[in-house]
DNA sequence: TACTTTATTAAACAGTCAATCAATATTTTA
DNA sequence: TAAAATATTGATTGACTGTTTAATAAAGTA
């Protein structure tokens, strides 16, 4: 009784997950029934239940996939850089770029994080994330620490600073209108980098002189 | 046919809204059915339908109430201050304080903003908010502008800076665990203020000398 | 007082949900 | 090929959804 999840089954699971992403993006979590997902995958609802234990199981797999992808995208680009400052800029730019180039993934991620709950009813967004998302948080904190050790960066509370940076990134991802209407991605990117560098980068003599 | 909404009716509507807030906080938007809300208000479900046109109507009233309260709380405290810098600090501190002292309101607000949708299915969080929430955004932008005009603050993009600050505030409100486990409110408050002042406040000669 | 309006309940309604199941088709294995 | 395992459908189930309705209670009015 081999238990490797047969080639065709894996493909179908992929397809269902993709359809679920599309569904979440299009009609939101509340309306994202198995029937709606099945419709977009052009299969019967029963088949979803056959491949996933239940709806929560499907949503968990979907969430993992979304986190994996964005994490990989961002980390790839960060690891190309050498100095902490370069890494930090790459982190910010890649985060914003991923959101911009994958709006559907982004919406789906928001829908699920703010709706899915554990069996004991704790919402995911309140969860301590030892998982993938945390991988990004961890990486950001590492960059900041590294920068301080190498004296590229000033002293500041790393956790709070990481939170500020992630908040700024998330804010653009969320407020699809208020900000987006007035500021395009490139402007936001460069302005945000400027601001972050101002609050982080060590002010050496040349810098002070230019103030 | 007078249309002032009778004393007793208004009280009942209040009660239903409070029960709805409690429900959203406790079990989240997805499970917040009229039956669950009625149970907490200790009334029949039909009575909710009698006092509100439909569920969306109830949720809209609830959202308005939540926004009114937090906006009033924050603006009250900001208006006590004179200089732009003092106002900015008051804005940040009041925003964080309100969340901390009203966790249930906060959860309810999150649940509704990330779930409610317009009749044409646009999620509220993607909506351009000409409303109350925007009142806070607008106030923050005004503070930043005023600071620049009075040369208290450096030059920066006001929209991006406002977004960074609101992102930092929202991040603490959201990540109830990752941050909160490591950093208490007071520390986050003071560290955030320090960071914001560093990226905003005009660096006069005394400041530079201390670097 | 008698009458009208407002408030409230419990039951019923039509619809949707996730999950299950028996029947059937497809693929894999021997 | 024949048999077994896997994949898929479509229909069904029972629970729950928001809303409506008929009946009744309470409050207001004249």
* A60 Cβ contacts chain C strand, under 7 Å: no
Q: How far is A7 from chain B (nearest CA, A)?
A: 35
Which are the contacts of A182, defined by CB distance < 8 A and separation ≥ 6? B159
Residue A193 confidence class, pLDDT cut points 50, 70, 90: very high
Q: Which three-class secondary structure string do you get for chain A?
A: CCCCCCHHHHHHHHHHHHHHHHHHHHHHHHHCCHHHHHHHHCCCHHHHHHHCCCHHHHHHHHHHHHHHHHHHHHHHHHCCCCCHHHHHHHHHHHHHHHHHHCHHHHHHHHHHHCCCECCCCCEHHHCCCCCHHHHHHHHHHHHHHHHHHCCCECCCCHHHHHHHHHHHHHHHHHCCCHHHHHCCHHHHHHHHHHHHHHHHECCCHHHHHHC
In CATH terms, the fold of domain A66-210 is Tetracycline Repressor; domain 2 (1.10.357)
Picking from A121, A164, A211, the nearest residue to B195 by CB comes out as A164
Tell whether A45 lies on the interface with B, counting CB pairs under 8 A: no
Domain ranges for chain A: 1-52, 66-210
* B45 Cβ contacts chain D strand, under 7 Å: yes
Which residue, among B40, B48, B101, B51, has the nearest Cα to B74 in the 3D structure?
B101
Strand partners, A117: A123
Tokens (6 digits) for B50 = 């009698």
Tell me the CB-side half-sphere exposure of residue B9, using CA atoms within 13 A: 8
Spatial distance between the Cα atoms of B69 and B78, rounded to a whole number of angstroms: 14
Q: Cβ distance B85 to B201 under 8 Å? A: yes
In CATH terms, the fold of domain B1-52 is Arc Repressor Mutant, subunit A (1.10.10)
Residue A54 confidence class, pLDDT cut points 50, 70, 90: very high
Q: What confidence tens digit (pLDDT) does each residue in B56-83 have?
A: 999 999 999 999 999 999 999 999 999 9
- % chain A with pLDDT above 90: 74
Q: What confidence tens digit (pLDDT) does each residue in A96-110 have?
A: 999 999 999 999 999
Cβ-Cβ contacts under 8 Å, A123 against chain B: 28
Tell whether A103 lies on the interface with B, counting CB pairs under 8 A: no
Tell me the CB-side half-sphere exposure of residue B92, using CA atoms within 13 A: 28
pLDDT at B182: 72
In terms of C-beta density within 10 A (0-12 exposed, 13-18 middle, 19 or more buried), how is residue B100 classed?
Answer: middle
Q: What confidence tens digit (pLDDT) does each residue in A117-137 have?
A: 988 889 998 886 655 558 999
Tell whether B104 lies on the interface with A, counting CB pairs under 8 A: no
Average pLDDT over residues B163-178: 84
Q: DSSP 3-state assignment of B146?
A: helix
Question: Which CATH code for domain B65-210?
Answer: 1.10.357.10
Cβ-Cβ contacts under 8 Å, A139 against chain B: none
Whether the pLDDT of residue B94 is over 50: the answer is yes
Strand partners, A153: A201
Q: What is the pTM of this model?
A: 0.90
CB contact under 8 A, B164 and A161: no
Whether the pLDDT of residue A23 is over 70: the answer is yes
Spatial distance between the Cα atoms of B173 and B177, rounded to a whole number of angstroms: 10
Question: Residue A183, by phi and psi: left (phi above 0), alpha (psi -120 to 50) or beta?
Answer: beta
Residue B133 confidence class, pLDDT cut points 50, 70, 90: low
DSSP for residue B124: G
* B103 Cβ contacts chain D strand, under 7 Å: no
């Amino acid at each position: 009784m081999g238990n490797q999840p047969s080639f065709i089954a894996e493909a179908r699971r992929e397809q269902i997950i993709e359809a679920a992403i599309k569904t979440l993006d299009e009609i939101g979590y509340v309306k994202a029934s198995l029937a709606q997902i099945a419709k977009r995958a052009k299969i019967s609802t029963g088949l979803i239940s056959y491949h996933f234990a239940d709806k929560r199981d499907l949503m968990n797999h979907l969430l993992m996939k979304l986190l994996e992808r964005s994490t990989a995208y961002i980390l790839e680009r960060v690891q190309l850089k050498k100095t902490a400052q370069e890494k930090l800029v790459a982190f910010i730019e890649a985060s914003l770029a991923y959101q911009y180039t994958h709006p559907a993934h982004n919406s789906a991620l928001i829908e699920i994080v703010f709706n899915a709950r554990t069996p004991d009813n704790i919402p995911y967004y309140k969860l301590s994330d030892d998982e993938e998302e945390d991988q990004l948080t961890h990486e950001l904190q590492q960059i900041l620490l590294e920068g301080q050790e190498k004296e590229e960066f000033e002293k500041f509370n790393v956790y709070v600073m990481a939170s500020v940076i992630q908040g700024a990134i998330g804010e653009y991802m969320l407020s699809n209108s208020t900000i987006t209407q007035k500021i395009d991605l490139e402007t936001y990117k460069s302005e945000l980098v400027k601001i972050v560098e101002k609050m982080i980068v060590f002010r050496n003599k040349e810098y002070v002189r230019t103030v």
